[in-house]
Amino acid sequence: MLQALEGITTQCVAKQDKGKTGHEWSVFLAPGQIVKAASKLYEAEYSLEDVLALDFEEGFLVLYHFNRWNIEERVTLRVLVSKDNPTVPSIASIFDGADWHERETRDFHGVNFEDHPNLVPLLMCAEDVDLHPLVKTPKVRKSIKDILDLGEVISCNKEMEELFAEAEAEEASDA
Amino acid sequence: MAAQDSVIPQELLTAGAHHMDPPIVNIKLAQDLLDVCRSMSLWPMTFGLACCAIEMMATGMARFDMARFGAEVFRPSPRQADVMIVAGTVTRKMAPAVVRLYEQMPGPKWVIAMGNCAISGGPFKIKDNYNVIEGVDTLIPVDVFVPGCPPRPEGLLEGFFELQRLISGKRWWPVAAEVEG
């Protein structure tokens, strides 16, 4: 089990195939847990690689990639937020580097980062504050289970299981 | 007399209400003489925005050596330049800076739009384009368009010859012979 995230309420923890996904752990979190999880990882000397969002049918999936220099263990934190109110607490107070990543994510997807010190457009120009170019059209938008592979599940709550349930059933029928 | 020196008062060129004042003393012979001098000492601005800038650098270096044709000194400041070569993609975020740099150049001044991006948006002129200006001529007046993606240094040199022709009314350099076979 991932030691660094001990004591954090997770929605789903899964060990991933490194050769296939490039990281070791995939952890789904509720938006309220991300600041706590990030500070735990900060204490465990993880560094932040990237913050980004993906546009799915279920909502925006905000991804946080963490890495360590001394142990090869990449961790991905995933936070699923609804389309109606895509709000995630900012982790810029813990990782300074998250500042620009979160601004970029706000530019491209319109995800609002609460308590961000300066959430103004970074890459887009100031007039385009409401233009989010990476939000997909319904025609090309896909479901999480079509894109992501859960991997070897350690623990998972009902909701997350349901998100991935159908895909597994389809695989079973193929076999 | 070149178009830039013509007496067209109050023509606003850019959104910043930029315009050129007519010459105080306007004697045709003196203007013609000045025009020849100007066309043979074009000072371009060091202003590369994307990959076209690589070709622009090549044009300035030894193999193509635009110094041979009187356009030698790339200036790092718009205050000292009289040709702006828009070499690359102009994004919406860059657009205000392009206009400002143009307005900072002392007149008479000219603009070469180098490459397809600067001419029309090039490969970025698509339905979902959200951040690329489709043609720098929508921002500032362009004198010479040099097509290509990117244009070869010879292309940019031809652009300069065309600009010299616009300024002085004459093409000064021999036309390259067609290669046979």
Look up the CATH number of the domain holding residue B158: 3.40.50.12280
d(CA B162, CA B34): 17
**Number of separate helices (H) and strands (E) present in chain B:** 5, 4
Is residue B129, in this structure, part of any structural domain at all? yes
- pLDDT recorded at residue B9: 44
Angle at CA A112, nearest 5°, toward A110 and A116? 130
> Has residue B79 got a pLDDT over 90?
yes
**What is this model's ipTM?**
0.71
Alpha-helical (H) ranges within chain A are: 18-21, 34-43, 98-109, 144-147, 158-174
Higher per-residue confidence, B162 vs B22: B162
pLDDT of B14 > 80? The answer is no
Domain count, chain B: 1
User: Is residue B59 predicted with pLDDT exceeding 70?
Assistant: yes
Amino acid present at A154: I
Per-residue DSSP letter, B147 = -
Distance CA A62, CA A53 (A): 4
Set of chain B residues whose Cβ sits within 8 Å of the Cβ of A125: 92-93, 131
Strand order in the sheet with A10-15: A47-56, A59-67, A75-81, A25-29, A10-15, A152-156
For B114-136, how does the pLDDT look when each residue is reduced to its tens digit (9 = 90+)?
A: 999 999 998 999 988 888 999 99
Report which of residues B13 and B50 the model is more confident about.
B50
B128/A124 Cβ within 8 A: no
Name chain A contacts of B98, Cβ cutoff 8 Å.
Answer: none
Can you give the pLDDT at residue A166? Answer: 65
Rounded to whole angstroms, the maximal C-alpha distance in chain B is 54
Give the domain extent around B141: 60-170
A31 CB-side CA count, 13 A: 17
Domain assignment present for B134 = yes
Domain membership flag for residue B143: yes
Q: Which residues of chain B make contact with A137, given a CB cutoff of 8 A?
A: none
Neighbours of B142 (CB within 10 A): 18
Is A128 close to B130, i.e. CB distance below 8 A? yes
**A109, A123, A125: best to mutate for the B interface, most B CBs within 10 A:** A125
Look at chain A and report how many structural domains it folds into. 1
- Tokens 């244009």 locate to B151
Give me the pLDDT at residue B163, please: 93
Q: Please choose, from the candidates B93, B131, B128, B133, the residue with its C-alpha nearest in 3D space to the C-alpha of residue B113.
A: B133
CATH code for the domain in which residue A43 is found: 3.30.460.80
Which among B92, B127, B129 is the top mutation candidate for probing chain A, defined by the most A β-carbons within 10 Å of its own β-carbon? B92
Per-residue pLDDT, A175: 44
Which residues of chain A register pLDDT less than 50? 175
Query: Is B178 a domain residue?
Result: no
Give chain A's count of helices (H) and strands (E): 5, 8
Residue B43 has pLDDT above 90, yes or no: yes
- Determine the residue of chain B that is closest to A125 in CA distance: B93
Q: Give the residue carrying structure tokens 């938008």.
A: A141
Give a yes or no: residue B33 inside a domain.
no
User: Which residues form the domain of A156?
Assistant: 3-174
pLDDT at res. A169: 55
Q: Say if B106 falls within a structural domain.
A: yes
